[in-house]
Amino acid sequence: MILRRTVLAIALAATALSPVPAQVEAASPAAPPAAPAPVQQQRPNVLLWLMDDVGFAQVSSFGGLVQTPNIDRAAAMGLRYSNYHTAPICSASRASLLTGRMPHSVHIGGHATAARNFSGYDAHIPAGAGTVAANFHAAGYATYALGKWDHLPNADVSTAGPFTYWATGQGFDRFYGFLSADANNWEPQLVRDVTTIGRPRTANYHLSADLADQAIAMIQSRGATDPERPFFMYWATGAAHAPHHAPPEWIARYKGKFDQGWDKVREEILHQQIAKGLMPSGTKLAPLPDTMPRWDSLSAEEKQLYARQMEVFAASLSYADAQFGRILDTLQSSGELDNTIIVITSDNGASAEGGPHGLYNEAAVTGRGLSVADNRAFLDQWGSASTYPHYAYGWAVAGDTPFRYYKQTTHEGGTRVPLVIAWPKGIAARGELRPQFAHVADIAPTLLAATGVKLAETVNNVPQLPMEGQNLTASFASPRAPGHEGPQYVELYGNKGLWQDGWQIVTSHRYKTWDWQTAKTFDEPWELYDLQKDPGQTTNLAARYPERVTAMAAAFNEQAKRYNVYPIHNLSDTAGESARIAAEDFARRRGKWHYAGPTSNLASMIAPPINTRGFRMSAKLNLADAGVTAPIFSMGGRMGGIAFYLKDGIPMLVMNDLGGRSVPVAARQALTTGPQRIAIDVVRGTADAAGAVPFNVTIRSGSKIIAQEKVDFTLPAYFGIPETFDIATDWGSPVLAGYRAGTAFPGTLTDILFDFNGMGGGGLSLH
């Protein structure tokens, strides 16, 4: 989870590639069609699938119990790296992977949406750190990015641009995806290049299938000019980040598959990892986090809930794997698969951000969390459009078997993830393992070396800095070739670490990653582990080898200074900075937000704070049609939101809680066509002990009151990562049931004013 949401921005005109119809794949892919004669091209294509929050032990070729036959297919064509490490959080990993530099070097040491005004954390990737895509583009490649793009500054994502840090400003010809840490797989808020678009209106829509459709269309579109032009494709699925969404028939495939619980699953996975040679014989499982229960201690109701959560996660990952298989089939059919470098990996370890019991709506992570009873009310809907779910953290521990901890920590569970590299034409090995240490910053220089593309001297007329990652192509030929050599640091929100020569020093600063409020000093002692003998980090050897700890700590300090790691800070520090920025913005505006006309996809940090304060909204409208259903403004969506709509022409305030429960306040009459002025007052009272807030709502048409009502409602302060603020439309998951996302207001809407003075409330948005 993150503290502040990435802003989605749009231009107003939408263009689209014709989507390829989604296909429902079987559990195991059918035999691909016979390949025609290979296309002759000098340089290989590159296809990089970056999964999200997928742990080392969650895909089947790494011993996991989630069936991923197409990842297995690629692994059988090439190599599996068993000692590959990332940064512990998505933005930092993605920035490092694409630039070939260290996360803090490119100013994204944490999550980009929790940026701070320090060089290692301000989220402004230096112009001298051009991406691997920019280098491929300079060498004549077509470059495509699809899926998640969230490593950019919030302030630069707006309808006005600039678009410097968007994918199309970072070396990619085309982009199709979403600009936030995750997306609603049923109703995503999508961008094509720099234009917001609605999702394709195909039957049984799912984002993973859509991303495959678009990838195939982009690959095939080269035929219009130069079918032999090589491509670089960055395919960054939302899977398997929360929300875990999957078609019901895929969820059904996993029914009962995890009833044995996370303890038995860990044992089974470790057995398979040892048998596959991924872990040395004698490897022990990492100790459980001190708050995590044994499966046998749980009630029948808890076991049923948690097993269902894992079934849905597994289905979402398997379904994404099937869509990736369709891309591989397309390349095989065109004769290009043999000369395509395939890279499959994850941005960080499995996520424990669902906390002890999981979340039917991940937006609930900001409060007290959810109880078993809260979640069980959504048991039968888990994974559907009626939930926005995340699993209990016990499954993250299992998904990182045999390692300690999970995403956001610097122990092995946070950073050690699967890596598959295949290139039938260029790598002779088939199905082999590589034990060399490798780092996320190594991917870019390795791809450039493998394709024969030299680092560009300039990108956008800016001289380029050397890549800090290392070339791993020697490992393609031998498991004994050098890997990433020398010490390598890692740091995230006070969790620190350094790897060197098979050892790691690491600190346990913050491991309850579902708690954003950790505020501690950074004086935890270094732990020391021999990862070659003890990958599960079960035995701390710091007291036995103090000289090694001292030397490695000095190496960490040297790299921390070199790569802009200092000043180290807590995640909670970013919340205070966000609150300060919001307060300054409120004062600068004198509590008023004015819009001349429609706007869209503004995240809470730059939107009017209608989710936390009372307000008066007034606007001029010229209604073209009577009896229409359309939004005047909206913020959030079905699972938490507030909006002012015309419903069948009748003005209506709608408020949704995190469970999708809706409270409307409707006027007594519909508006007529033509020019007029509409206003709504939402006066906010003080919350009671249960969190319910009294709202006094008054709706006016001109000077006439057409609705006046008091309602008590628990309106959340945080609506989730991708949900945004819109005027004259409602993108993504609509606040009002039955409205088609993205449908524009039928007429003109101008002079929109939000005034928060004297209207109650006063809490600032939680970004």
Show the tokens assigned to 735: 């606040």
Show the tokens assigned to 722: 């991708």
CA distance 407 to 90: 9
Q: Is residue 88 within 8 Å of 414, Cβ to Cβ?
A: yes
- CB-based contacts of 247: which residues, under 8 Å, 6+ apart? 24, 204, 206, 315, 319
Q: Is residue 679 one of the residues assigned to a domain?
A: yes
Residue 407 sits in the same domain as residue 548: no
Minimum mean pLDDT range among 35-49, 308-322, 554-568, 601-615: 35-49
Q: Is the pLDDT of residue 582 over 80?
A: yes
Minimum mean pLDDT range among 556-560, 602-606, 627-631: 602-606
CA distance 284 to 293: 19
Q: Is 460 in a helix, a strand, or coil? A: coil
Q: What is the mean pLDDT of residues 522-549?
A: 97
Residue 555 sits in the same domain as residue 450: no
CA atoms within 13 A on the CB side of 46: 27
Residue 396 sits in the same domain as residue 508: no
The per-residue DSSP string of 479-539 comes to TTS--S-S-EEEEETTEEEEEETTEEEE--S---TT-TT----S-PPPEEEETTT-TT--S
Residue 432 sits in the same domain as residue 522: no
Q: Is the pLDDT of residue 26 over 60?
A: no
CATH of the domain at 658: 2.60.120.200
DSSP-assigned beta bridge partners for residue 349: none
Question: What type of residue sits at position 384?
Answer: S
Q: Is residue 37 one of the residues assigned to a domain?
A: no
Residue 520 sits in the same domain as residue 388: no
Q: Is the pLDDT of residue 40 over 50?
A: no
Check residue 581 and give its pLDDT: 85
Q: Is 157 in a helix, a strand, or coil? A: coil
Residue 403 sits in the same domain as residue 546: no
Q: Give the pLDDT band of residue 22 (cuts 50, 70, 90).
A: very low
Chain-centre distance for alpha carbon 398:
21
Check residue 30 and give its pLDDT: 46
Which residue from 713, 707, 680 is spatially nearest to 695, judged by alpha carbons?
A: 713
Q: What is the mean pLDDT of residues 562-589?
A: 91
- CB-based contacts of 588: which residues, under 8 Å, 6+ apart? none
Check residue 720 and give its pLDDT: 86
Question: What type of residue sits at position 698?
Answer: T
Q: Is residue 248 one of the residues assigned to a domain?
A: yes
| CB neighbours of residue 594 within 10 Å | 11
Q: Is the pLDDT of residue 580 over 90?
A: no
CA distance 63 to 43: 33
Q: Is residue 101 within 8 Å of 466, Cβ to Cβ?
A: no
Query: What confidence tens digit (pLDDT) does each residue in 114-134 have?
Result: 999 999 999 999 999 999 999
Q: How far is CA 129 from CA 99, 103, 402, in A?
A: 6, 11, 35
Q: Is residue 763 within 8 Å of 717, Cβ to Cβ?
A: yes
The mean pLDDT value of the chain amounts to 92
Residues 488, 422, 233: CA angle, nearest 5 degrees: 85
Q: Give the pLDDT band of residue 4 (cuts 50, 70, 90).
A: very low
Q: Is residue 105 one of the residues assigned to a domain?
A: yes
CA distance 708 to 714: 19
Q: Is the pLDDT of residue 189 over 80?
A: yes
Question: What type of residue sits at position 60?
Answer: S
Check residue 762 and give its pLDDT: 65
Query: What confidence tens digit (pLDDT) does each residue in 666-722 have?
Result: 999 999 999 999 999 999 999 998 889 999 999 999 999 999 999 999 999 889 888
Chain-centre distance for alpha carbon 489:
24
CATH of the domain at 67: 3.40.720.10
Query: What confidence tens digit (pLDDT) does each residue in 409-454 have?
Result: 999 999 999 999 999 999 999 999 999 999 999 999 999 999 999 9
Query: What confidence tens digit (pLDDT) does each residue in 155-170 have?
Result: 787 766 789 999 999 9
Residue 254 sits in the same domain as residue 375: yes
Check residue 41 and give its pLDDT: 55
DSSP-assigned beta bridge partners for residue 434: 81
Check residue 24 and give its pLDDT: 38
CA distance 25 to 96: 33
Residue 349 sits in the same domain as residue 375: yes
Q: Is residue 31 one of the residues assigned to a domain?
A: no
Q: Is the pLDDT of residue 478 over 50?
A: yes
Which of 522, 544, 573 terminates a domain? The answer is: 573
Q: Is the four-CA dihedral 518, 520, 524, 528 of positive or negative sign?
A: positive
Q: How far is CA 223 from CA 142, 218, 334, 725, in A?
A: 12, 10, 11, 39
Which of 540, 573, 606 terminates a domain? The answer is: 573
Q: Is the pLDDT of residue 192 over 60?
A: yes
Q: Is the pLDDT of residue 11 over 60?
A: no
Q: Give the pLDDT band of residue 589 (cuts 50, 70, 90).
A: very high
CA atoms within 13 A on the CB side of 29: 24
573: phi > 0 → left, psi -120 to 50 → alpha, else beta; which? Answer: alpha
Q: What are phi and psi for residue 270, nearest 5 degrees?
A: -60, -40
Check residue 37 and give its pLDDT: 44
Q: Is the pLDDT of residue 23 over 60?
A: no
Q: Is residue 121 within 8 Å of 110, Cβ to Cβ?
A: yes
Q: Is residue 9 one of the residues assigned to a domain?
A: no
Q: Give the pLDDT band of residue 530 (cuts 50, 70, 90).
A: very high
For the chain, the domain total comes to: 3
Residue 59 sits in the same domain as residue 147: yes
Give the range of the structural domain holding residue 669, as residue numbers without chain letter. 590-755
Q: What is the mean pLDDT of residues 752-765?
A: 80
Q: Give the pLDDT band of residue 553 (cuts 50, 70, 90).
A: very high
Residue 394 sits in the same domain as residue 432: yes
Q: What is the mean pLDDT of residues 279-288?
A: 97
Q: What is the mean pLDDT of residues 330-336?
A: 97
Residue 554 sits in the same domain as residue 664: no
CA distance 369 to 501: 41
Q: Is residue 722 within 8 Å of 178, Cβ to Cβ?
A: yes
Check residue 704 and give its pLDDT: 96
Which of 531, 546, 573 terminates a domain? The answer is: 573
Residue 530 sits in the same domain as residue 469: no
Q: What is the mean pLDDT of residues 242-264?
A: 98
Chain-centre distance for alpha carbon 753:
33
Q: Is residue 766 one of the residues assigned to a domain?
A: no
CATH of the domain at 539: 3.30.1120.10
Check residue 28 and give its pLDDT: 42
The per-residue DSSP string of 569-608 comes to --HHHHHHHHHHHHHHHHHHHTTEEEESS-EEEE-TTTS-
